[in-house]
Amino acid sequence: MSFTLPVTGLVPTVSFSTKAPKQSDALLVPVTQGDTLEVPVTSLVPAGLFEALEAVGATGKHGEITRVLIDDQLVIAFGLGDAEELSDDDVRRAVGVLARSLRGVETAAISCEFGAGAIVEGLLLGGYSYPGFKTSSSEDSAQPAITVVGEKEDKEFFVASEIVAESVNLARDLVNTPANMLYPEVYAEFVQGAVKGTGLKVEVLDEKALEKDGYGGLIAVGKGSARPPRLVHVSWSPRKASKKVALVGKGITFDTGGISLKPPSNMENMISDMGGSAMMLGATLAAARLDIPVRIDTWLSMAENMPSGTATHPGDVITHYGGKTSEIINTDAEGRVVLADALARASEEQPDYLIEASTLTGAQLVALGARTAGVMGTNELRDRVAELARDAGEPAWAMPLPEETAEDLKSPVADVRNSHNSRNAGMLVAGRYIEAFVGEDIEWAHIDIAGPTYNTSAAFGYTPKRGTGFGVRTIVEVLRDFAG
């Protein structure tokens, strides 16, 4: 069985060349802001460009886009800001803005003097747009073909970054697909199709297997839905692996809250509640295609959280994979319940590191806003993940697991309860619950991406509206770091 997404994002075509194309509709030229405007590159720059840009008042400010015609050649200048303090992410974000300004341009050329990797990522990530299902397409679906011009040595960075960007865009596509089209059964089939030719192995546990093997959390959350849950295990076993890593992702294909029903406003955004699983799948695919020498076991916990006559009630006590019990206080705290099973299962393999990502709490948005992920876990790995995320341009911040939050999870009838009756520290209490299911002596990190995974406002930098693919690049960097 294989399932393909009904619609995927539109992206520009990028190709690498050591020679500038003879002719392009547009030359894409970076400009920077010193004391005055500067054109900091030498290739693909027509004579008279500086004067033409100055004449129209270009400043080189970060994110500024200026179009000028020089002897019939269109030049689109994109501002990088202060050249002294340029990070890769400054380049990526500026190129992302550029990529969104290319309407009407069929062919373009850009020099990769500011880093082939950052430029490809900026183009492919910033140029992504989700067309949806409109019958009369108002948006121009024609995408530009862009030649990235560089030296021979740039090619490998181009290729690697293209792979990573494709994984980010895959995660976006998955998040953007409405829940009537993406539900556990077909999501699992999609994964089986997506790994073809990568060397990854996939094993899918359907509802019968989950029941038989005691995955009580997945069953409890999934049983209100007509669409049964799945646990998908993707594994990457390269020959020279020195470290063993487990990745776990929340795959709630829609979260109504269940019997603890959510209010209707913005509930449609809950199509993004499988963002953690999309992130971990994207990173795992990239790791295989990049041949990162680390053993990876990825566990995607898929279920649809619905209210119905068969749904779990508040007060129910369930038994997770591995035997621990949870009292369900709030059926809307479902993510941790499906993750618990996957965490217990993943821990059985005794990984050196376990990293889990989930759109887990509204409290993450309250604490850190829509763009910054919260990272919890064992001190060292937590700090390492947060720092590598920031290096990749994905804002993340280490959060504590205060001693007293352990109290919040005490239940009179089960090992833990899934929610506490307080507004205090919701993100951290969820982190504590996660901790309860991670095997002893395993270094672990939990990344709450409730806000970052889905952009409900306008596009910015290389981040489009809706699914962002947040976290894929962080995990790829973490895996590269583990590989040494």
Chain residues in the site for Mn ion (CB under 5 A): 255, 332, 334
Binding mask 203-242 for Zn ion (x = CB under 5 A): ----------------------------------------
Residue 332 counted as an annotated binding residue:
yes
DSSP string computed for 464-479: -SEE--TTHHHHHHHH
Q: Produce one character per residue of 234-245: b if its CB has 16 or more CB atoms within 10 Å, e if not.
A: bbbebeebebbb
With CB under 5 to 8 Å by kind, the binding choice for 221 among Mn ion, Zn ion, ligand BES, none is none
Q: With binding defined as CB under 6 A, does residue 123 bind ligand BES? A: no
Whose tokens are 């539109």? That residue is 10
Q: Are 341 and 218 a contacting pair, CB within 8 Å?
A: yes
Nearer to ligand BES, 65 or 267 (CB): 267
Residue 223 counted as an annotated binding residue:
no
3-state secondary structure of 426: helix
Catalytic entry in 92, 227, 230, 336: 336
Q: How many whole angstroms separate alpha carbon 207 and alpha carbon 205? A: 7
Whose tokens are 């990573």? That residue is 164
CB of 273 to ligand BES, least distance (A): 5
CB of 336 to Zn ion, least distance (A): 9
Compute the CA torsion angle 308, 314, 315, 318 (nearest 10 deg): 70
Subset of 273-332 contacting Zn ion (CB under 5 A): 273
CB of 331 to Mn ion, least distance (A): 8
For Zn ion, how many residues bind (rule: CB under 5 A)? 4
Would residue 423 show up in a list of annotated catalytic residues for this protein? no
Q: Which of 111, 127, 144 is nearest to 19 (CA)?
A: 111
Instruction: Find the binder of Zn ion among 216, 228, 335, 374 (CB under 5 A).
Output: 335
CB of 252 to Zn ion, least distance (A): 5
Residue 448 counted as an annotated binding residue:
no
Q: What is the largest CA-CA distance in the chain?
A: 79
CB of 360 to Mn ion, least distance (A): 9
Would residue 336 show up in a list of annotated catalytic residues for this protein? yes
Catalytic entry in 262, 371, 390, 480: 262
Residue 208 counted as an annotated binding residue:
no
| Burial grade of 136 (CB within 10 A; 0-12, 13-18, 19 or more) | exposed
With CB under 5 to 8 Å by kind, the binding choice for 361 among Zn ion, Mn ion, ligand BES, none is ligand BES
Subset of 335-354 contacting ligand BES (CB under 6 A): 335
Nearer to ligand BES, 24 or 361 (CB): 361
Subset of 372-401 contacting ligand BES (CB under 6 A): none
Read off the tokens for 75: 């030049």
Whose tokens are 């076991």? That residue is 297
Q: With binding defined as CB under 6 A, does residue 29 bind ligand BES? A: no
For ligand BES, how many residues bind (rule: CB under 6 A)? 15
Q: Are 470 and 174 a contacting pair, CB within 8 Å?
A: no
Subset of 237-266 contacting Zn ion (CB under 5 A): 252, 255
Q: Are 20 and 107 a contacting pair, CB within 8 Å?
A: no
Binding mask 217-256 for ligand BES (x = CB under 6 A): --------------------------------------x-
3-state secondary structure of 325: strand
List CB contacts of 360: < 8 A, sequence separation 6 or more: 250, 276, 335, 336, 427, 430, 434, 446, 448, 450
Instruction: Find the binder of ligand BES among 361, 372, 455, 463 (CB under 6 A).
Output: 361
Q: List alpha helices for 48-115, DSSP H.
A: 49-55, 88-99
DSSP string computed for 196-241: TTTT-EEEEE-HHHHHHHT-HHHHHHHTTSSS--EEEEEEE--TT-
Residue 250 counted as an annotated binding residue:
yes
Q: With binding defined as CB under 6 A, does residue 301 bind ligand BES? A: no
CB of 364 to Zn ion, least distance (A): 11
Instruction: Find the binder of ligand BES among 363, 373, 389, 447 (CB under 6 A).
Output: 363
Q: With binding defined as CB under 6 A, does residue 314 bind ligand BES? A: no
Chain residues in the site for Zn ion (CB under 5 A): 252, 255, 273, 335
Binding region for Mn(2+): 250, 255, 273, 332, 334
Q: Which residues are catalytic?
A: 262, 336
